[in-house]
A and B are shown apart, each in its own frame.
Chain A
Amino acid sequence: MNNKQFLTELSGKCHLSPEQAAEQVQTLIGVMESVWNNGDSVSLSGFGVLEVKKKNERVSVNPVTGVRMLVPPKLVLTYKPSSLLKDKLK
């Protein structure tokens, strides 16, 4: 399902035009971003948790050249599906 299909389905469900739906999706993402920026996580029952995690700095070695690199720490958006959704997979 690509973005277009996703938008058409969403617009059908919420009685919005696809353009409006696209706009709303972007605002929703913006809202979630501000939540993440506050250090909070978005937790939705039946879907899962979307949160920002800090990955520690680490030393990685290029196996071919043997060059050691210090990879800096970073913030990554992670998604953890809820157990409900996982059960549905089985």
Chain B
Amino acid sequence: MNSKINLSQLADLFAQISGLSKTASEQFVKAFFDIISQGVLAEGLVKVKGLGTFKLLQMEDRESVNVNTGERFTIEGHQKISFTPDAELKERINKPFAVFETVEITAEQAEKIGDDIETGYSEEPQSDNSEISDYTSEQTDNEPKIKDITQKRSTRVLLKLITWVLSLILLIGLVMYILWPIIGCKLLTMFDDKIAEKAQVTTIVETKSSLTSSSVTPEQSQNIEKPLMETEPIVNKNPESVVKEQEPEPAVKDISDQVVQQQFNLNREDMAKSVSLFTEADTVNYRITGKLAVHTVQNGETLAKISFMYYGTKKLWPYIAKYNKMSSFNNMGAGSVINIPKLAAK
């Protein structure tokens, strides 16, 4: 193993098989290699069937760098003898490793294997055929490698899961963002309702307190309270009907009239503005009578905002939508022109 067979040894081996005499076989072997070397030098190419091709290659000048000093220098062109083994011979020599095939691998695996190769390379001596047995031992080493790969796979699956969940959350957020104008409008209308109710209650309480403070007998105040309680839920509907309902109680008529008048005035003022916070801007209580204005939609504007701009409340946006025959609110981009309807109470 790993010994060098020289000419005489080779000739001896050859003599045993070919049946030639030792001198004849030595002569033959010598002639064989002499002709090859002479042929290469003379003609630049020698083909030997069953062995391979010897070729003379012309190497061009090339620039190189001295590793130690970093200096550049040119390697002058020279001739070089190359040897390409015969395909059949090549296969026969590679027979021990013929079972292995080139396989596709992922980048991660490549890194790992690359490390293995590097370490293995530094450890392995330059000797040749002892490595055949080395490789068989390498094969058994593959098992932990496979384990590592499966572990990596499981972590990869986990990572995938996490990214999936994150993307889902993001998607939900996006959907919420898109639907916000619609949901937000509803919430705002609810909010507005509450504010309106509170405002009414406070105004009524204020008037009540002013009444009680201004030399009104407890009986009266009690009586006042009654109609007030009655008006409270009705106020929003129609002030005139409230007034009518008040009439059958003449005892407190003056004071309650005052209160109702206040209420009525408030409502009237709001009516003048079309609608305001104090009116219950019920979206079915109005009809469209004509065109109020033409509005060019700005960036970031919603129907609710536009409604607030023209009517003082966000709740009347459905009328705008209806007037412009909007099927979906998505077609209202910045710069689009919409008509603002004139509203009148039914």
Listed in ascending order, the chain A residues whose CB lies under 8 Å from chain B are 1-3, 6, 9-10, 13-14, 22, 24-36, 38-54, 56-59, 67-79, 81, 85-86, 88-90
> Contacts A49-B4, A52-B93 known; A69 to B103 CB distance under 8 Å?
yes
Distance in angstroms between the alpha carbons of A39 and B225 in the assembled complex? 118
Instruction: Tell whether, in the assembled complex, residue B81 and residue A79 are in contact, meaning their CB atoms are under 8 Å apart.
Output: yes
Please choose the segment from B10-18, B213-221, B252-260 that sits at the chain A interface, where 4 or more of its residues have CB less than 8 A away.
Answer: B10-18
Instruction: Tell whether, in the assembled complex, residue A72 and residue B100 are in contact, meaning their CB atoms are under 8 Å apart.
Output: yes
Chain B contacts for A45, CB-based, 8 A: 6-7
B37 within 8 A of A: yes
Instruction: Tell whether, in the assembled complex, residue A10 and residue B31 are in contact, meaning their CB atoms are under 8 Å apart.
Output: yes
Which of B54, B80, B102, B106 lies in contact with A71, CB distance below 8 A? Answer: B102
Chain A contacts for B52, CB-based, 8 A: 77
Chain B contacts for A57, CB-based, 8 A: 100, 113, 117
Instruction: Tell whether, in the assembled complex, residue A68 and residue B110 are in contact, meaning their CB atoms are under 8 Å apart.
Output: yes
Which of B14, B17, B37 lies in contact with A46, CB distance below 8 A? Answer: B37
Listed in ascending order, the chain B residues whose CB lies under 8 Å from chain A are 1-7, 10, 13-14, 17-18, 20, 24, 27-29, 31-37, 39, 41-43, 45-52, 54, 56, 78-83, 85, 89-90, 92-94, 96-97, 100-107, 109-110, 113-114, 117, 120-121, 128-132, 135
Which of A22, A43, A46, A74 lies in contact with B94, CB distance below 8 A? Answer: A74
Instruction: Tell whether, in the assembled complex, residue A9 and residue B35 are in contact, meaning their CB atoms are under 8 Å apart.
Output: yes
Chain B contacts for A40, CB-based, 8 A: 1-5
Within the complex, the shortest CB–CB distance from B77 to chain A, in Å, comes to: 12
> Contacts A31-B13, A56-B120 known; A51 to B110 CB distance under 8 Å?
no
> Contacts A1-B46, A89-B79 known; A72 to B101 CB distance under 8 Å?
yes
Contact count A vs B, C-beta below 8 Å:
185
Chain B contacts for A31, CB-based, 8 A: 10, 13-14, 17
Instruction: Tell whether, in the assembled complex, residue A27 and residue B92 are in contact, meaning their CB atoms are under 8 Å apart.
Output: no
Within the complex, the shortest CB–CB distance from B294 to chain A, in Å, comes to: 58
Instruction: Tell whether, in the assembled complex, residue A25 and residue B32 are in contact, meaning their CB atoms are under 8 Å apart.
Output: yes
Instruction: Tell whether, in the assembled complex, residue B114 and residue A1 are in contact, meaning their CB atoms are under 8 Å apart.
Output: no
Distance in angstroms between the alpha carbons of A73 and B94 in the assembled complex? 9
Instruction: Tell whether, in the assembled complex, residue B4 and residue A41 are in contact, meaning their CB atoms are under 8 Å apart.
Output: yes
Distance in angstroms between the alpha carbons of A90 and B56 in the assembled complex? 12
> Contacts A28-B28, A35-B13, A81-B81 known; A74 to B129 CB distance under 8 Å?
no
18 A-B contacts, Cβ less than 8 Å apart? A6-B35, A24-B28, A29-B48, A33-B89, A33-B92, A35-B10, A39-B1, A41-B5, A44-B10, A49-B4, A52-B128, A59-B105, A59-B113, A69-B103, A69-B105, A72-B97, A79-B54, A90-B78
Pairs A-B, 10 closest by C-beta atoms: A72-B100, A79-B83, A39-B129, A43-B4, A1-B39, A47-B33, A3-B49, A39-B1, A77-B85, A13-B31
